[in-house]
Structure 1
Amino acid sequence: MTAQSRPAPVIGVLFPLSVVFFEFATFISNDMIMPGMPAVAHDLGAQSVGVISLALSAALMGNIGTQWLLGPLSDALGRRPVFLAGVVIFTLSCFAGMAVQSMWQFILLRAVQGAGGAFTMAVGYPAIQEAFEEKRAVRTISLMANVSLLAPIVGPVAGALVVTVFSWRVIFLLIALVSLVAFAGLWKSMPKSRQRTLSFRFHIVRTLRGYRRCLMNRELLSGSFALGFIFGMLMIWIALSPIGLIERQGLTPLSYALWQLPVFAGLVGGNLLLSQIVYRVEIERLIAISISCIAAGAMLAVALTWGNQDFRWLIPGVTISSFGMGIGFGGLMRRTLFAVPGSSKGAVAAFINTVFMFVGIALVEGCKHFYLVYGMEAIAATLGFCAAGAMVSLAVRRHARSGLAVSAG
């Protein structure tokens, strides 16, 4: 059944709802397991607390390791079959998570789960972008983000409760069940691509040439780096807060989970504000407001934590930055995705996601190393670096856009 023959509520409501339900499952696979990571490391015989953030980085590496392939593959075969295959891969990897016997098996499995999660960004979101015009797409994705962002709010609390009452392995069973529900909704509602993409055969040389064109586009590349610096700020909090709050400050998993709430409430608040003002405020203005909040939050985090080893003092600054991320991330993603006119959106989305997630991983692992050696000052400095990097990247992007405008004129 094509998009034109499906009932409008199925395309307009059930399809994005099913996509975000699967995204919720992939997000919550990170957020539920994080409060249980000390228990995972203990049960599987890990020798260092550094593996706690490595498990998250492995999921992100699995994600970016498949991004480059999924976009062009979905351009060639169609979004629907590729996305459904990704849901199946992720679901099976969650069931397998109940049986791991070593830390390295666990990390490998997290990489596979990350690869399954890559299908949302490289295939699911481009399908939604193609289904709606710009303002509606930004608003739809903003509303979807409010649902998916329940994962970092609900996930730590739910994960802490599961780890307290049951085994951490039960977490993977629950996530697999959520993923199965998403699969059922996608099977019913996901349309075929508007284009007859089957006429385009997947070809590795053509794919690499397409990525080279992306790499040479300054607006696309600088926008992708800006997304990476913004994304990295949140990932630093998610990856290192279990070490800082549970391992170093002795908080219980439940207390750790409760300290997550302000940060992700800020993110949800930014998305809710975006959904209300997106039709009245120009996208570039939203991006400018966003980076102002992000920079202010980073400066506050630096001021509160420099010389202070209490991890909780990061929360006010990171919350303000998360609020800014909620306002501008979707609009920046949309404008960056359409920076290369006429190109296949699957390949461009894969390029963007690969760049910004690689930047995020590098920031997380670098910050972890220096935090374990030098303490809170390392995190404060890295957050400041992220904000500065985002601002410089957006300045380069503005210059590239103005150059294109002059050329077009």
Structure 2
Amino acid sequence: MNEPTTTAPAHLGYCPDCEYLGDHPEIEPGLDPGQARLTSAVVATVVFLTAIAPLATDMYVPAFPRVAAELGGSATQVQLTLTTFFVGMALGQLVGGPVSDQRGRRRPLLAAVLVMTLASIACALTPTIGVMMAARFVQGFAGGWAMVIGRAVVVDLATGARLVRVLNVIAGVGGIAPIVGPLLGAVILQLSDWRVSFWVVASLGVLMTGCVLAAVPETLPPARRHGGGLRAFARAGRQVLRNRRYVGYLVVCGSAMGALFAYVATSAFVLQSMNGLSPVAYSVDFAANACGMTVAALVAARLAGRVATRSVILVGQVAALAAGAAMLIGALWFDTPLPVVVASFFVLMTAQGLIGGNAGALASAEVPDHPGTGSALLGFVQWVAAGTIAPLAGLGGEQTAVPMAVLMIAGAAVSLLGLLVLARR
């Protein structure tokens, strides 16, 4: 029997967290009447899936002081609920993609959304800080699983320029959700209890389940599934990690993420407990910083092809290092004055807009033979860094910002090391 011949499709481009756009041939309209199509309802559902994780985190951050008081936990224990969520997110994205490649998209996606909804209910009813940590881990794992499958659905159904447009729309949520989340959380705190924020997330999970049932078909038929799973992923991962420059950009992204989440985990205590801001004022400041990061990312996109990408990253790293130094000086000798805190946080967040996307793109370019694996490892390292740094930033409790400032400096410095030494030309 003759072996079937296959023709490798032309590569049409690359998108972070996705495969090469040419890995799935373009499906011509009318070729298969039963073939799933990328409709506006599918896109809206994937946007919804992408937004739920930052909303689940950012609505909750303004309530940290109240959670600590009600559950009898320390600042570090409350920040550990961020750690467990981020670790869950990292593992969910790392595992969810290979499993859906084997089992299909629709059923694993529905299971993930339902588990996330149940975990949100457990967070709302939690009697202790320990139960909260466990529930947040499950919530993060299921949320990460749902996010990675949502992106896979889009890659299944679109190629070329259309895929680029759709993924840009989805990526835009990354800049909007961190703005809306803390503001919504502050409104909830003003009108009700912090537990209501988790009931809101659970309600969104129920709505999301309905959206998946109504709008998302099975986009990976049995003929296109494969049995490689986690074993094949591990083999490709070993190959990717042998690339020194890729590892350098991995360090750039992970360290920058660590510096960012030193801020996210501790800013509520610094601004509210130490400087007397209300939850609403804190949330406005948080949203303004998120706007700075979004604008910086848009500027970085405009500079692509005009200014060397490594130079843009370097500017962001130097700015982040300066913000950490200013924060440390203010914390050690000036009792953490509000103007220094606000300015340092804004510069740090804005700098992330110059670092994250650019470093991720350069990392992906270093491993063109394994783009999906490279992207999965990148996301895994970033979320693990976020989860590791969050509790460390709160070691000083609610009365000092020194640990947070030290971690901001360390993150920026290690990121610089990754760029200038490991990822050197």
**TM bucket, shorter chain:** 0.7 to 0.9
| CA apart distance, 1:258 | 2.1
Bigger mean CA deviation after superposition, 80-89 or 31-40:
80-89
2:318 maps to what in 1?
A: 295
| CA apart distance, 1:234 | 1.9
| CA apart distance, 1:27 | 0.9
Question: Is the alpha carbon distance of 1:75 and 1:334 closer, same or farther for their aligned partners in structure 2, counting shifts above 3 Å?
Answer: farther
User: Which residues in structure 2 correspond to 1:56-205 (within 5 Å)?
Assistant: 56-119=82-145, 122-125=148-151, 128=154, 141-187=167-213, 188-189=215-216, 192-193=219-220, 196-202=223-229, 205=231
**Unaligned segments of structure 2, at least 5 residues:** 1-24
Question: Is the alpha carbon distance of 1:337 and 1:132 closer, same or farther for their aligned partners in structure 2, counting shifts above 3 Å?
Answer: farther
| Percent of aligned positions that are identical | 21
1:405 maps to what in 2?
A: none
Q: Deviations over 1:30-76 (max 9, x none)?
A: 11112222222332232x22222111111112222334322322332
Which secondary structure does the structure 1 equivalent of 2:225 belong to? helix
Distance 2:418 2:263 in 1: 22
2:363 to 332, 336, 349: 336
Question: Is the alpha carbon distance of 1:168 and 1:338 closer, same or farther for their aligned partners in structure 2, counting shifts above 3 Å?
Answer: same
1:255 maps to what in 2?
A: 281
Which secondary structure does the structure 2 equivalent of 1:360 belong to? helix
Q: TM-score, normalised by structure 1?
A: 0.81
Question: Are 1:33 and 2:33 an aligned pair?
Answer: no
| CA apart distance, 1:220 | 3.1
Bigger mean CA deviation after superposition, 182-191 or 318-327:
182-191
Distance 2:33 2:201 in 1: 29
Question: Is the alpha carbon distance of 1:373 and 1:97 closer, same or farther for their aligned partners in structure 2, counting shifts above 3 Å?
Answer: closer
Q: Deviations over 1:274-299 (max 9, x none)?
A: 56x27xx2398345314413422431
1:314 maps to what in 2?
A: 341
2:415 to 378, 381, 390: 390
| CA apart distance, 1:128 | 4.6
2:250 maps to what in 1?
A: 224
| CA apart distance, 1:385 | 2.0
Q: Deviations over 1:346-369 (max 9, x none)?
A: x44332222222223333333332
Letter in 2 for 1:242: A
2:265 maps to what in 1?
A: 239
Letter in 1 for 2:405: A
**Unaligned segments of structure 1, at least 5 residues:** 403-409
Distance 1:283 1:129 in 2: 29
8 Å contact kept, 2:317–2:355: no
8 Å contact kept, 1:229–1:389: yes
User: Which residues in structure 2 correspond to 1:361-380 (within 5 Å)?
Assistant: 361-369=387-395, 371-372=396-397, 375-380=400-405
| CA apart distance, 1:104 | 0.9
Question: Is the alpha carbon distance of 1:195 and 1:33 closer, same or farther for their aligned partners in structure 2, counting shifts above 3 Å?
Answer: same
Q: Deviations over 1:206-247 (max 9, x none)?
A: 443333223323233222221111212221111001221223
8 Å contact kept, 2:48–2:208: yes
8 Å contact kept, 2:82–2:390: no
Q: Deviations over 1:176-197 (max 9, x none)?
A: 2323444444442466249954
Letter in 2 for 1:103: I
Q: Deviations over 1:287-321 (max 9, x none)?
A: 53144134224314423551333264233233233
- How many residues end up aligned between the 2 structures? 392
Which secondary structure does the structure 2 equivalent of 1:199 belong to? coil
1:55 maps to what in 2?
A: 81
2:71 maps to what in 1?
A: 44
Distance 2:161 2:309 in 1: 13
Letter in 1 for 2:49: F
8 Å contact kept, 2:260–2:408: no
Question: Is the alpha carbon distance of 1:366 and 1:168 closer, same or farther for their aligned partners in structure 2, counting shifts above 3 Å?
Answer: closer
Larger radius of gyration: 2
User: Which residues in structure 2 correspond to 1:267-306 (within 5 Å)?
Assistant: 267-274=293-300, 277=302, 281-282=304-305, 285-286=308-309, 288-303=311-326, 305-306=328-329
Which secondary structure does the structure 2 equivalent of 1:26 belong to? helix
Distance 1:102 1:60 in 2: 20
Distance 2:345 2:241 in 1: 31
Q: TM-score, normalised by structure 2?
A: 0.79
CA RMSD of aligned residues (A): 3.5
Bigger mean CA deviation after superposition, 260-269 or 124-133:
124-133
8 Å contact kept, 2:104–2:219: yes
Which secondary structure does the structure 1 equivalent of 2:241 belong to? helix
